A = this chain, B = another copy of it.
Amino acid sequence: MQTTGDTQSSTLDEQTVLRTRMKKIKHKIAVISGKGGVGKTVIAVNLAIAFALQGHENRVGLLDADLHGPCVPKMLGMEDQKLRVGPIGAFPALGPLGVKVASMAFVLEGKEVPVVWRGPLKMRAIQQFLSEIAWGELDFLFIDLPPGTGDEPLSVLKLLPEMDGVVIVTIPSEVSQNVVGKAITFSRQLNVPVIGVVENMSGFVCPDCGKETHIFRTGGGEKVAQESSVPFLGSIPLDPRVCEASDLGHPFIMENPDSPASKAFMEIVEKIKTYIQEKENMSPNETGDK
């Protein structure tokens, strides 16, 4: 039984290829959540777009590491794309602003085909996404991890020890907070810095009367961040336009840049940029060559 095995099944060559490819990517940030359905993929997609918008066009990658429910392509309007295979590996698909995307959805034969895989196969798939995709030179690689603390997150965090950090997404409810605590402990056990907690689906403002309702309660993200002594990055309000934009394949920060949700999101992006900058200043020689 393979319970702790991380890369045993890969040959030395595969690991060398993975290291070579990953060295060309300056920063790696994973987006994780304890519980599913907190809008983690929406956050990952819009983070990639936000960084591409702000000076990193064609220099951002996005790995959809959710093998069972890959949603990144749908949210970026890239559903009909496939990975193009070339002599040096497969090429990622190209999204808006030159964002390079790899996803299980580009490999499957149909939308309804489930990936009925157990752990070891999933570990292999993720390793291949990192080593056999010709990501090229990138400033940022964002990784959208499936919820929980199982095979996929474990594989990614172990395969990429140089990870700049993880952004943890939650909704305000207490039930979610419990699970976020687990995600924080998980990151710490694996020595991956927690960049901070994002509270998504915070309040809902009725478009008719302006009254705000806290459908999934409020303040949970900040509370769990404080309790665990990790930074709180901000709250993003519930906005039907976010879901609509995602379904249409348009990142909401491009579709509705003036909405409160987009503004809240861009403030979070600023905090992540500051974190990266401070990290770069602290270890100027290590960047991109860890």
- A contact set with B: CB distance below 8 Å: 1-5, 9, 34-39, 41, 67-69, 71, 74-75, 111-123, 146-151, 154, 171, 173-175, 178-179, 181-186, 189, 204, 206-209, 211, 213-217, 228, 238-240, 243-244, 246-247
Distance (Å) between the CB of A237 and the closest chain B CB? 11
Q: Once the chains are docked, how many angstroms separate the CA of A68 from the CA of B154? A: 12
B114 touches A183 (CB 8 A): yes
Output the residue of A150, A189, A228, A247 with the most chain B CB within 10 A: A150
Distance (Å) between the CB of A283 and the closest chain B CB? 28
B211 touches A147 (CB 8 A): no
* In the complex, residue of chain B having the shortest beta-carbon distance to the beta carbon of A41: B175
A111 touches B2 (CB 8 A): no
- A-B pairs with beta carbons under 8 Å apart, 20 shown: A3-B121, A35-B71, A37-B37, A37-B147, A68-B150, A74-B178, A111-B181, A112-B184, A114-B182, A114-B189, A118-B120, A119-B119, A119-B120, A204-B213, A206-B208, A206-B209, A206-B211, A207-B211, A209-B209, A215-B239
Q: Once the chains are docked, how many angstroms separate the CA of A281 from the CA of B206? A: 48
Say yes or no: A247-B173 contact (C-beta < 8 A), given A1-B9, A69-B34.
Answer: yes
A247 touches B174 (CB 8 A): yes
**Complex partner residue of A69 from B35, B114, B119, CB under 8 angstroms:** B35
A118 touches B150 (CB 8 A): yes
Q: Once the chains are docked, how many angstroms separate the CA of A75 from the CA of B122? A: 31
